[in-house]
């Protein structure tokens, strides 16, 4: 990724009478878990020019100036008839206001809830608004008859997809997107995008899996040749495959044994950012997550989700020394209907005081609920390190629920096959990884040399491990090989439970490798590696990495190996 690019807007014809305007940000500029892969992103807007012109999803305020200039070059302001909003986001209101100043004739096309948000955002203006429900359509002329598919979810309750029968493009907004910036408008190299698409799904879609499946069902009868996504390359080549993956990934969520209700409200977006990071960790830990923004749902919906969940987590900002009204309502619902044996958690952001946390925590404890983690209180905007801590909180919370519900692998006698698999041995190593201010490490033995030229290795990592989310393609890590006789202290140390965000290396003598990761000074050897491929295999990820550099530190040392009795456990 070339990080010297300024922000720009790329506009390209993609079909008959249809343009995409891709506002491109080449670097990661926000502390958000979904941007953690640091590949930049695009914000895609679309223009359909029939006898009447419709603009789909104008960009956020940060792109407003260059986006409006690109629009001016593409059309006459007087010819824009409609703005279609696939979802509502306050950060786009400034752009909408600027467009209205130039084109007051515009009619907004949105969902029922989207229309309500618009009227609240522009209380002093008489907006022209068309609300679209199921089976609604809009004829732009020249064969461009637009159909609208409501796709509400707890994250985007006003969600609306648009289908153009003329071009057979389905404008999906958040669905099927990815945070990748580049010159490629379409997904010609679609197989290389799967990792980014899966990461995006895990961050933003997994906690809304039932709603994703509902949206896919509504779309299933449409003859679609292209997905006009909200971020990243447009999907034309890998469309069928990604749709199948979305179905598989979403169904896998509903089959999980543990479920968690994640309830939150957010004043300035910081608590919502924390919620997404915790949801990512819950999903990674193996829980089915129901993420609910309490500002946009009725108490009955909260009741239904909490009743089915094995545990629940409540996130709140502090406003004027109090929790906002939606959180008070949600907390009242929870205290009324949730069994007191359920494990709870509390988190949120604050500016000056943070009384909301004490209120929520106090009410839960008074009612007899046990907390699965120490209440997380974050001042102002969360950092990368805090978001990593949130991820680990979510993963650990799932393990607490599994222990509470006594969900574990049955301890039956090992079969002959399992005994045979257990005879496979591996070198004892400590893997260290670093990304920005976030560093972590893990003990492992599932490593093997894979290639001679270039020198390469494969490593298997359980999905819930903290290091896993720092090990995507192009990520750097160090593999520290531990010598016989010293491995016991490493195994004892790294097998203990660490608190989220806890320093893992403090008791050891360490140095820093050329790739920025940690070297253990008493390792027998170390390898500096780069991840090149990542494959999902059951309950583990298998990584193929090439060795960029290495050193034999103790030439006479024998690398420790780990002997197992069965192939069903470490």
Percent of the chain at pLDDT above 70? 98
- Percent of the chain residues past pLDDT 90, beyond the cut: 80
The pLDDT confidence band at residue 1, using thresholds 50, 70 and 90, is very low
Per-residue HEC secondary structure of 306-335 comes to: HHHCCEEEEECCCECCECCHHHHHHHHHHH
Q: Is the pLDDT reported for residue 474 higher than 80?
A: yes
Q: Are strands 287-293 and 376-379 parallel, antiparallel or unpaired?
A: unpaired
Q: Which stretch of 332-341, 385-394, 456-465, 474-483 has the lowest confidence by average pLDDT?
A: 332-341
For 241-254, what is the mean pLDDT? 95
Question: How many beta carbons lie within 10 A of that of residue 214, not counting itself?
Answer: 16
Q: What is the pLDDT of residues 262-311, one digit of tens each?
A: 999 998 889 999 999 999 999 999 999 999 999 888 899 899 999 999 99
> How many Å apart are CA 19 and CA 13, to the nearest integer?
4
Q: Which pLDDT value is given to residue 331?
A: 94
Whose CA is closest to 548, among 529, 535, 568? 529
Region 324-351 average pLDDT? 92
H/E element, 366: helix 355-366
Write down the residue that tokens 């996504």 correspond to: 229
- Amino acid 2: pLDDT: 45
Angstrom distances, CA of residue 414 to CA of 328, 420, 444, 460, 562: 51, 10, 22, 22, 18
DSSP reduced 3-state for 80: strand
**How far apart (Å, rounded) are the C-alpha atoms in residues 76 and 12?**
17
pLDDT score of 127: 94
Give pTM, 2 decimals: 0.90
What confidence score (pLDDT) does residue 265 get?
93
53 pLDDT above the threshold of 80: yes
Token digits for 548? 């960029």
The DSSP line for 7-49 is PEEEEEEEETTEEEEEEEE-S--S--GGGTT---EEEEEEEEE
**Domains in the chain, start-ordered, CATH in brackets?**
8-253 (3.60.15.10), 256-404 (3.40.50.360), 416-562 (2.30.110.10)
Cα separation, 554 vs 484, whole angstroms = 11
Q: Which residues pair with 447 in a beta bridge?
A: 459
Report helix angle 209-219 to 239-254, nearest 10.
140
Q: In 181-195, which positions are buried (b, 16+ CB within 10 angstroms) versus exposed (e)?
A: bbeebbbeebeebbb
Q: Find the mean pLDDT for residues 449-471.
A: 94
Q: Which residues contact 485 (CB under 8 A, 6 or more apart)?
A: 560
Token pair, residue 349, equals 């952001």
What pLDDT band is residue 46 in, cutting at 50, 70 and 90? very high
Beta strands in 107-218 (DSSP E): 107-110, 128-131, 137-139, 145-150, 160-164, 169-173
pLDDT at 427: 94
What are the tokens at 567?
Answer: 């192939």
* Gap between the Cα atoms of 232 and 211, Å rounded: 22
Mean of all residue pLDDT scores within the chain: 92
**358: Cβ contacts below 8 Å, ≥ 6 apart:** none
pLDDT tens-digit profile of 531-542? 999 999 999 999
pLDDT score of 4: 62
**Which of 68, 14, 312, 58 shows the shortest CA–CA distance to 184?**
14
526 close to 519: Cβ distance less than 8 angstroms: yes
Q: How confident is the model at residue 408 (pLDDT cuts 50, 70, 90)?
A: low
**8 A C-beta contact, residue 262 and residue 289:** yes
Q: pLDDT band at 254, cuts 50/70/90?
A: confident
Residues 507-525, mean pLDDT to the nearest whole number:
95
The β-bridge relationship of strands 107-110 and 128-131 is parallel
- Give the per-residue SS3 of 413-433: CCCHHHHHHCCCCEECEEEEE
Distances in Å between the Cα of 537 and the Cα atoms of 131, 238, 362 are: 45, 21, 43
pLDDT tens per residue across span 173-200 = 999 999 999 999 999 999 999 999 999 9
Q: Residue 52: helix, strand or coil by DSSP?
A: coil
Q: If you average pLDDT over residues 201-206, what whole number do you get?
A: 95
pLDDT tens-digit series, residues 105-152:
999 999 999 999 999 999 988 999 999 987 789 999 999 999 999 999
Note the pLDDT of residue 71: 95
Tell me the β-bridge partners of 520.
510
Mean pLDDT of the region 358-381: 94
DSSP code, position 282: H
Q: How far is CA 432 from CA 98, 111, 384, 504, in A?
A: 49, 48, 17, 10
């Amino acid at each position: 990724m070339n990080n010297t690019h300024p922000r720009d807007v790329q506009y390209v014809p993609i079909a008959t009478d249809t343009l995409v305007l891709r506002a491109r940000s080449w670097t990661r500029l926000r502390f958000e878990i979904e941007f953690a892969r640091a590949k930049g992103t695009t914000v895609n807007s679309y223009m359909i020019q029939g006898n009447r012109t419709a603009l789909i999803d104008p960009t956020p305020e940060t792109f407003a100036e260059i986006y409006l200039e690109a629009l001016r070059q593409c059309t006459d302001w007087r010819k824009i008839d409609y703005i279609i909003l696939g979802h509502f986001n306050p950060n786009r209101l400034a752009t909408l206001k600027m467009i209205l100043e130039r084109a007051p004739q515009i009619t907004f096309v949105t969902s029922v809830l989207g229309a309500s948000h618009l009227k609240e955002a522009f209380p002093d203006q008489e907006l022209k608004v068309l609300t679209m429900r199921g089976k609604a359509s809009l004829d732009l002329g020249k064969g461009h008859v637009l159909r609208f598919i409501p796709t509400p979810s707890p994250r985007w309750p006003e969600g609306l997809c648009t289908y153009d029968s003329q071009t057979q493009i389905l404008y999906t907004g958040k669905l099927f997107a990815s945070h990748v910036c580049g010159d490629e408008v379409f997904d010609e190299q679609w197989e290389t995008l799967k990792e980014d698409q899966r990461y995006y799904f895990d961050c933003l879609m997994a906690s809304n899996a039932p709603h994703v499946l509902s949206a896919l069902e509504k779309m299933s009868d449409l003859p679609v040749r292209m997905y006009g996504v909200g971020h990243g390359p447009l999907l034309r080549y890998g469309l069928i495959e990604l749709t199948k993956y979305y179905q598989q990934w979403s169904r896998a969520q509903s089959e999980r044994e543990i479920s968690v209700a994640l309830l939150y409200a957010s004043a300035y977006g910081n608590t919502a950012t924390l919620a997404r990071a915790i949801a990512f960790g819950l999903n990674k830990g193996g829980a089915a997550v129901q993420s609910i923004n309490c500002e946009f749902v009725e108490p009955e919906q909260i009741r239904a989700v909490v009743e089915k969940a094995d545990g629940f987590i409540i996130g709140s900002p502090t406003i004027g020394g109090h929790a906002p009204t939606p959180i008070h309502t949600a907390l009242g619902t929870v205290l009324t209907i949730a069994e007191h044996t359920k494990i709870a958690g509390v988190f949120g952001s604050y500016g000056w005081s943070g009384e909301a946390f004490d209120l929520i925590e106090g009410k839960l404890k008074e009612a007899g609920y046990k907390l699965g983690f120490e209440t997380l209180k974050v001042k102002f905007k969360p950092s990368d390190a805090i978001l990593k801590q949130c991820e680990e909180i979510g993963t650990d919370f799932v393990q607490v629920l599994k222990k509470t519900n006594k969900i574990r692998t049955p301890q039956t006698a090992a079969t002959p096959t399992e005994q045979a698999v257990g005879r496979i041995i591996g070198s004892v190593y400590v893997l260290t990884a670093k990304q920005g201010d976030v560093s972590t490490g893990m003990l492992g033995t599932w490593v093997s040399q894979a290639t001679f030229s270039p020198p390469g290795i494969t490593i298997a990592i359980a999905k819930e491990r903290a290091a896993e989310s720092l090990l995507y393609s192009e990520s750097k890590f160090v593999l520290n090989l531990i010598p016989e006789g010293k491995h016991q202290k490493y195994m004892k140390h790294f097998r203990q439970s660490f608190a989220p965000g806890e320093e893992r290396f403090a008791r050891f003598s360490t140095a820093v490798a050329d790739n920025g990761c940690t070297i253990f000074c008493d390792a027998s050897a170390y390898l500096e590696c780069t991840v090149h491929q990542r494959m999902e295999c059951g309950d583990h990820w298998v990584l193929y990495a090439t060795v960029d550099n290495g050193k034999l530190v103790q030439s006479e040392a024998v690398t420790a190996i780990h002997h197992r009795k069965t192939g069903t456990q470490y």
